[in-house]
Amino acid sequence: MQFDKIRGFAFDLDGVIADTARFHGQAWHQVADKVGTPWTSQLADGLKGVSRMDSLEMILKAGGHENEYSQQEKVQLATAKNDNYLRLVETLTPEDILPGMKSFLDELREKDYLLVLASASKNAPKVLKYLQLSDYFMGIVDPAALSHSKPDPEIYLRAAELLKLPPEEVAGVEDAQAGIEAINGAGELSIGIGRSLTGADVRFDSTVDVTLEKLMELK
């Protein structure tokens, strides 16, 4: 997969730009404790990139509790998780941009790449504001308007529409396996961040390693 065709980037947020994956994890851990599902690193990893209600379903299922809660109780559990998450997110400052990401975004902006956000989080506009990064993005995909969660490609196809670019001219940046599958399904260049990811066109161990120079070396 070549990089020279790429004109726009669709960024995931949690765990790619913002150090918020740990906050989602912390808040879901509390829900898991409450419903009696053992919290494992495998469960935590599997929740990355997954929408709020789908995450709750995964937690209930992992403990065999999927039939124990009414829809109303599920909404209460998800709302409690979100309230806890928002309390953690309120503490965010530009210091919480993941290492190397601010300079990568600056590099992209300087070279006139177009940027949009493709996060499953309904809290993404708020998080970007706390990080003082809202101005970098020409659009944010609205996850409430989507029919399918990652790993479905819908969110990345919508990102290409916002960029007004064909998918083959778009690169997606993700820390979640579900996200890499979504980018690949959309026919975009997949850039994975994290040691355990598979199937990405290019993979970096950590956010500090992602530079335009390294992407330009891709043949």
What are the residues binding ligand BG6 (CB under 6 A)?
A: 13-14, 24, 47-52, 55, 82, 119-123
Nearer to ligand BG6, 96 or 169 (CB): 96
- Residue 175, binding choice from ligand BG6, Mg ion, none, Cβ under 5 to 8 Å by partner class: Mg ion
- Residue 55, binding choice from Mg ion, ligand BG6, none, Cβ under 5 to 8 Å by partner class: ligand BG6
Rounded CA-CA distance 39/83 in Å is 20
Catalytic-residue membership of 12? yes
Q: Catalytic residue among 12, 19, 175, 201, which?
A: 12
Q: Is 14 in the site for Mg ion (CB under 5 A)?
A: yes
Nearer to ligand BG6, 50 or 105 (CB): 50
Nearer to ligand BG6, 1 or 58 (CB): 58
Kindly state the smallest distance separating residue 11's Cβ from ligand BG6, in Å.
Answer: 11
Rounded CA-CA distance 174/192 in Å is 5
- Residue 84, binding choice from ligand BG6, Mg ion, none, Cβ under 5 to 8 Å by partner class: none
- Residue 210, binding choice from Mg ion, ligand BG6, none, Cβ under 5 to 8 Å by partner class: none
Kindly state the smallest distance separating residue 53's Cβ from ligand BG6, in Å.
Answer: 9
End-to-end Cα separation, the chain, in angstroms:
7
User: Taking Cα atoms as reference points, which of 219, 217, 6, 1 lies closest to residue 108?
Assistant: 6
Q: Which DSSP string corresponds to the chain? A: --STT--EEEE--BTTTBTTHHHHHHHHHHHHHHHTPPP-HHHHHHHTT--HHHHHHHHHHHTT-TTSS-HHHHHHHHHHHHHHHHHHHTT--GGGBPTTHHHHHHHHHHTT-EEEE--S-TTHHHHHHHTT-GGG-SEE--GGG-SS-TTSTHHHHHHHHHHTS-GGGEEEEESSHHHHHHHHHHT-EEEEESTT--S-SEEESSGGG--HHHHHT--
Site for Mg ion in 161-200 (CB under 5 A): 175-176
- Residue with nearest beta carbon to ligand BG6: 121
- Residue 158, binding choice from Mg ion, ligand BG6, none, Cβ under 5 to 8 Å by partner class: none
Nearer to Mg ion, 84 or 177 (CB): 177
**Binding residue for Mg ion (CB under 5 A) from 15, 25, 151, 192?**
15
Active site residues: 12, 14
Report the interface residues with Mg ion, using CB under 5 A.
Answer: 12, 14-15, 175-176
